Amino acid sequence: MEMGWRWDFTYEILPQMAIATLNTILAAGVGYAIALIVGLFFLLAQRTPSKIFNWVNREIVEFIRSTPLLIQLFFVYFVLPQFGITLSAWVCGMITIGLHFGTYMSEVYRGALEGVSKTQWEACRALNFSTIYTYRRIVLPQAFPIAIPGMGNYLVGIFKDTPLLSTIGVAELFHAATAVGGYNYRYLEPYTLVGIIFLTLSIPAAMWVRKLERDVNISQGKIKK
C-alpha cells in the first residue's frame, strides 16, 4: 500500500463525495426544520397552566437532552420495527435529530420569550390587548431577534452531528467516505476530504451566525456600531 497523499485517488473520489455532501446538507436542513417545529411543541407544553403536564414535559426534555444522540438513533432505528413500525434510515434519522435538537430549540425559544421585558406585557394588559394580539404584535417581534443567534448555532450544531446518521446507514458524506475508504482500503484521503468539506461549509456558516448576532445586538441597541 502506498503511503502519503495520492492526488489521483482524491480526484477519483471527489464527485462521489460532492454528491454525498448534498445529502448531508439535505439531512441537516430537514432535521433543522423538524427541530424548529418540535421545539415549538415543547415550548407550548412548557407554558400550559397544568403543573403535572409541565413537570412531565420538563422531565422528557431533560431526558432527551442528557442522553447521547447516537443511542437515541439506535433506539429509534432498532426498536420501532419491533412494534411493527418499519421506517427507512432516513426517516428515523430525521425524527431523532428533530426530537433531540427540538428540546434544545425549545430552550432557545423560552430564553427569547423571557428576554422580552415584563413591562411590555403589563403595558399590553393596560391597553386591553388580547393575549394573541400581544404575542403577535408586541412580544414575538421582540423575542425573535433574541432567538436568532441560538437558532443559528444549532443549525451549525445539527450540521456537525449529521455524520452520526452514517451509523444507521444514511448515505451522507461520512457514510460515503467510509464506503469509499473500505472499498479501496485507503482512509487518508476520504476522511481528510470530509474534514475539509465540513470546514469549508461550517466556518462561513458560523461566521454568518456571529455577524447576525452582532447585527441583532446593534439593532437592539446593546452595542454600538
Partner 1 sequence: MTYFEFLNEHGITLLLGTVTTVKVLVCSMILYVIISMIFGLMRLSKNPVIQGTATVYIEFFRGTSLLVQLFWAYYVLPFFGISLEAFTAGVVALGLNFGAYGAEIVRAGILAVPKGQWEAAHSLNFTPAKRIKRIIIPQIFPIILPPAANLTVELLKATALVALVTVVDLTFEAKQINSITWLSAQCFGTALLIYYIMARFALVPFLRWLEVLAARKVGKEKI
Q: 47-86 mask for partner 1 (x: CB under 8 A)?
A: ---------------xx-xxxxxxxx-xx--xx--x----
Q: How many residues bind partner 1 (CB under 8 A)?
A: 38
State the chain's maximal CA–CA distance in angstroms.
Answer: 78
φ, ψ of residue 63 to 5 degrees: the values are: -65, -50
Of 15, 25, 12, nearest to 156 by C-alpha is 25
Contacts with partner 1 in 162-181 (CB under 8 A)? Answer: 162-164, 166-167, 174, 178, 181
Cell numbers for 16, please give them. Answer: 462521489
Residues 4-23, mask of contacts with partner 1 (x by CB under 8 A): x-------------------
* Span from 7-15, 27-35, 138-146, 201-209 in contact with partner 1 (CB under 8 A): 201-209
Distance CA 45, CA 59 (A): 12
Q: Is 189 helix (H, G, I), strand (E, B) or coil?
A: helix
- Helix ranges restricted to H, 47-88: 51-65, 69-79
Residues within the interface to partner 1 (CB under 8 A): 3-4, 62-63, 65-72, 74-75, 78-79, 82, 160-164, 166-167, 174, 178, 181, 187-188, 191-192, 194-195, 198-199, 202-203, 206
